[in-house]
Amino acid sequence: MASAGEATPGAGASSVTVRDMRIEDYEAVRGLWSEAGLPFKPQGRDSPEKVALELERETAVFLVAEVDGRLAGVVFGTHDGRKGWINRLAVASAYRRQGVARLLVEEVEARLAARGIEITAALVETANVGSLAFFRAVGYSHAPEIEYVSKRRSVDT
């Protein structure tokens, strides 16, 4: 697992710290996802047990952002050996448009690049125009011609 890191934004929020998520952050992270209206799988891959296991893996770059000691944002970066993925990105509404998500995503990209992963991607719901605008603003290209298919062992997975 990558060591804890810190980053500060060039503009906007003045005291943002980005660090590795710890399992002790789980409840606060879950609260943040709920507040952000983000779909997540508390009985499946987002359960505390699964998150604790995944945190130990080399493939996980799970980061939180704090402002004055309060949880302001979270991102679950992962990679599959070929490509990196931005998952479960959320910023508390009180801290939006201050560069927090940009910091989190750039830190994931840097850590994945250090592991030889040179492309990162995200799955975004079509209706989530704010998220699509965010990803475009931080340099991602949008491919609306690509359809998402998946197969899962249970609805909770």
Ligand X SMILES: CC(C)(COP(=O)(O)OP(=O)(O)OC[C@H]1O[C@@H](n2cnc3c(N)ncnc32)[C@H](O)[C@@H]1OP(=O)(O)O)[C@@H](O)C(=O)NCCC(=O)NCCS
Site string for ligand X, 34-73 (x = CB under 6 A): --x-x-----------------------------------
Instruction: Name the strand (E) or helix (H) holding 29.
Output: helix 26-36
137 binds ligand X (CB under 6 A): yes
Q: Considering only 14-22, 44-52, 53-61, 83-91, which stretch makes contact with ligand X by CB under 6 A?
A: 83-91
Q: Is 20 helix (H, G, I), strand (E, B) or coil?
A: strand
**Ramachandran region, residue 81 (left: φ > 0; alpha: ψ -120 to 50; beta: rest):** left
Q: How far is the CB of 52 from ligand X (least distance, A)?
A: 23
Q: How far is the CB of 108 from ligand X (least distance, A)?
A: 13
Site string for ligand X, 96-135 (x = CB under 6 A): xxxxxxx-------------------x-x---x-xx-xx-
91 binds ligand X (CB under 6 A): yes
Q: How far is CA 77 from CA 37, 54, 56, 61, 109, in A?
A: 19, 11, 13, 5, 8
| Count of C-beta atoms within a 10 Å radius of residue 139 | 11
Strand arrangement of the beta sheet that strand 120-121 belongs to: 16-20, 60-67, 70-79, 84-91, 120-121
Where along the sequence are the contacts to ligand X (CB under 6 A)?
36, 38, 89-91, 96-102, 122, 124, 128, 130-131, 133-134, 137
